[in-house]
Amino acid sequence: MKRFMLKALSILAMEIPAVPCACTIAGSDPSGGAGIQSDIRTFSALGVWGLSVITAVTSQNAQSFMGAWNVPGDVIRLQLATLLEDFDVMACKTGMLPDSGAVAAVVCGVPKGIPLVVDPVMVSSSGRSLMEPDALNELIENLVPLATLITPNLPEAEVLSGYGPIRTVDDMRAAGRCIQKYGAAYVLLKGGHLPQVSGVVPDLLIGHGREWLFSGERLPVDAHGTGCCLSAAITAHLARGNDVPAACAAAKEFVGHAIGTSYRTKSGCHMVNPG
């Protein structure tokens, strides 16, 4: 018994390796394919401890969106403040911010000086609007200027930039430069909605006077949750100390694997599988 107790004390005395923490501030997706659930799975797969602040409760699956119930801004603010009391958060990301109260809570509550990834989620995969017009204005005016990186898909980029339609990489470049004027350090335009004229999907990163083009194979699967998975993977890599270009490159590869191993539902829809 004495030997057992000494061994137990020895284990307790061992230095436990530090695990970086990242926080997602987003809506709940009960299907697990997007939102908070997908973000947490992505963080875990990349060796990051995942924290979450829920901004909305939704009723959805991979093919249908039945409803959403917004969390009040003061509740969002309290969730975030409570986490920050006990965790050293190394990076944050936002997803669904349905109303101006949610955006304002993030603007006030996110700690300054750490990477912030803004995924401007506007519409669900099934076409349901997820952001009120006043929330979009609040996001552009007050949240985007705080962002290390904003990650719009092409329909979102058209709304944010006023430039469209976006059909080529040159169009992506022009729209990205318009969005960058709002103050984000980097803009990553996701090219999944480009016309399928080749077997690759280009993502264009713009920032600090430079550009990076990341290309991945276009897989024959339209998977639910790719945008959430990508922004969460970028956030995880930033929490681990990578710079933005390196984080985007690694996340692009990660999402390709998550799509390639996607989970298929009874209706035949595919959902990204972070592992």
pLDDT bin (cut points 50, 70, 90) of residue 223 is confident
Among residues 94, 68, 44, the alpha carbon closest in space to that of 227 is found at 94
Q: Is the pLDDT of residue 5 over 90?
A: no
- Tell me what the mean pLDDT of segment 225-233 comes to: 95
Greatest CA separation found in the chain?
74
pLDDT bin (cut points 50, 70, 90) of residue 219 is confident
* Three-class DSSP category at 162: coil
200 or 53, which is more confident?
53
pLDDT bin (cut points 50, 70, 90) of residue 215 is confident
pLDDT bin (cut points 50, 70, 90) of residue 66 is very high
Q: Is the pLDDT of residue 46 over 80?
A: yes
Q: Where are the beta strands (DSSP E) in the chain?
A: 21-28, 49-60, 65-70, 89-94, 116-118, 149-150, 186-190, 200-207, 210-217, 223-224, 263-264, 270-271
What ranges do the domains of the chain cover? Answer: 22-271
Q: Is the pLDDT of residue 6 over 80?
A: no
Q: Is the pLDDT of residue 72 over 70?
A: yes
Beta carbons within 10 angstroms of residue 194's beta carbon = 20
Q: Is the pLDDT of residue 1 over 90?
A: no
Distance CA 233, CA 41 (A): 10
- pLDDT for position 56: 97
pLDDT bin (cut points 50, 70, 90) of residue 4 is low
pLDDT bin (cut points 50, 70, 90) of residue 17 is confident
Distance CA 40, CA 232 (A): 8
* Three-class DSSP category at 107: helix
Q: Is the pLDDT of residue 150 over 70?
A: yes
pLDDT bin (cut points 50, 70, 90) of residue 111 is very high
Identify the architecture of domain 22-271 in CATH.
Answer: 3-Layer(aba) Sandwich (3.40)
8 or 17, which is more confident?
17
- Tell me what the mean pLDDT of segment 189-199 comes to: 79
DSSP assignment string, 20-85: -EEEEEEEE-TTSSSHHHHHHHHHHHTT-EEEEEEEEEEEE-SS-EEEEEEPPHHHHHHHHHHHHH
Sign of the Cα torsion 105, 110, 112, 117 reads negative
- Tell me what the mean pLDDT of segment 95-107 comes to: 97
